[in-house]
């Protein structure tokens, strides 16, 4: 079972051994930026520094190229894609089609014809977060808080429905979501407190249950999926890793 870990640069600086351990266990390490800044809330110069600095830190720690990026809060936009291309990234996995969250950004993507990998306007490919489309409406179901709040058997049915349609599902979870012993901050607004702390003790058991119900599926990294689905259409990925 493999996964892609989108790591913050400042975390990698403080815990380089942990990042190497992730790689040593066969997982992919990709970038989540340096400071977890939303692209819509910083200047172009600040965003470029955040993206470039994170990539360099991770590559210096790992000794290998970092290919992927995920924007904090899924705040991706066309400007960010341009910076990613200039910085040497090969793919992004930030597009979330659910429009009910104001932090989510928008980019133009074009189906590639093989799996869920989509083309963008840049020399990058997009692996969008998986959601459920029902009668023209998007039901957010990629993971995170939606996974914690939703009954796990309903979430399982959603995953299997998306898998049946797309033969792939991009699932995400944050490390803090499987840490019920994390400190409870005082003075946090009610809604934010509810959103952050609800069902933390249940997340890991739910995740274990979900993976046990998907034993016939392959759990792969983002880069592995791109190689499996799009070897011919992403020659740069094949070339840079050979």
Retrieve residue 125's tokens: 């490919």
Task: Note the pLDDT of residue 232.
Answer: 47
Residues 54 and 47: their CA atoms lie apart, in Å, by 11
Residues 153-188: pLDDT tens digits? 999 999 999 999 999 999 999 999 999 999 998 888
Give the E-state strand segments of 46-136 in sequence order: 68-69, 91-92, 110-111, 118-119, 125-126, 132-134
Task: Note the pLDDT of residue 60.
Answer: 97
Tell me the domain boundaries of the chain. 4-241
Mean pLDDT of 189-212: 93
SS3 call for 85 = helix
Residues 228-237: pLDDT tens digits? 876 444 444 5
| Domain 4-241 = CATH 3.40.50.300 | no
In terms of C-beta density within 10 A (0-12 exposed, 13-18 middle, 19 or more buried), how is residue 74 classed? buried
Task: Note the pLDDT of residue 240.
Answer: 42
- Four-residue CA torsion sign, 85, 91, 97, 101: negative
Q: Is the pLDDT of residue 37 over 90?
A: no
Percent of the chain whose pLDDT exceeds 90: 72
Q: Is the pLDDT of residue 104 over 70?
A: yes
User: Quick one: how far is CA 137 from the chain centroid?
Assistant: 22
CB atoms under 10 Å from CB of 33, counted, come to 25
pTM over 0.85: yes
Residue 111: DSSP 8-state: E
Partners of 110 in the β-ladder: 119
Partners of 111 in the β-ladder: 118
| Nearby residues of 145 by Cβ (< 8 Å), 6 or more positions away | 177, 195, 198
Q: Please tell me which of 81-85, 100-104, 138-142 the model is most confident about, judged by mean pLDDT.
A: 81-85
Q: How confident is the model at residue 239 (pLDDT cuts 50, 70, 90)?
A: very low
CB atoms under 10 Å from CB of 198, counted, come to 13
- Four-residue CA torsion sign, 120, 122, 127, 128: negative
Mean pLDDT, all residues of the chain = 90
Residue 51: DSSP 8-state: H
Give Cα separations from 128 to 68, 142, 176, 188 (angstroms): 12, 9, 22, 31
User: Quick one: how far is CA 23 from the chain centroid?
Assistant: 17
Residues 240 and 63: their CA atoms lie apart, in Å, by 14
Q: Is the pLDDT of residue 58 over 60?
A: yes
């Amino acid at each position: 079972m493999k996964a892609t870990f989108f790591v913050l640069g400042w975390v990698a600086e403080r815990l380089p051994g942990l990042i190497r351990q992730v790689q040593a266990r066969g997982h992919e390490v990709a970038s989540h930026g340096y400071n977890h800044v939303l692209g819509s809330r910083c200047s172009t110069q600040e965003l470029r520094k955040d993206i470039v600095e994170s990539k360099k830190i991770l590559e210096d720690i790992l000794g290998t190229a970092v290919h992927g990026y995920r924007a904090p809060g899924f705040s991706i936009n066309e400007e960010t894609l341009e910076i990613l291309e200039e910085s040497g990234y090969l793919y992004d996995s930030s597009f979330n089609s659910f429009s009910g969250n104001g932090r989510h950004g928008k980019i133009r993507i074009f189906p590639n014809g093989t799996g869920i990998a989509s083309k963008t306007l840049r020399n990058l490919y997009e692996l969008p977060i998986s959601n459920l489309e029902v009668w023209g409406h998007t039901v957010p179901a990629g993971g995170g808080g939606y996974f914690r709040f939703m009954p796990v058997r309903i979430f399982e049915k959603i995953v299997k429905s998306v898998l049946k349609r797309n033969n792939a599902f991009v699932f995400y979870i944050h490390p803090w979501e499987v840490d019920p012993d994390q400190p409870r901050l005082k003075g946090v607004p009610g809604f934010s407190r509810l959103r952050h702390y609800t069902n933390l003790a249940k997340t890991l058991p739910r995740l274990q249950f979900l993976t046990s119900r998907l034993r016939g599926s392959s759990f792969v990294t983002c880069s592995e999926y791109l190689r499996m689905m799009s070897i011919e259409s992403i020659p740069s990925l094949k070339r840079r890793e050979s």
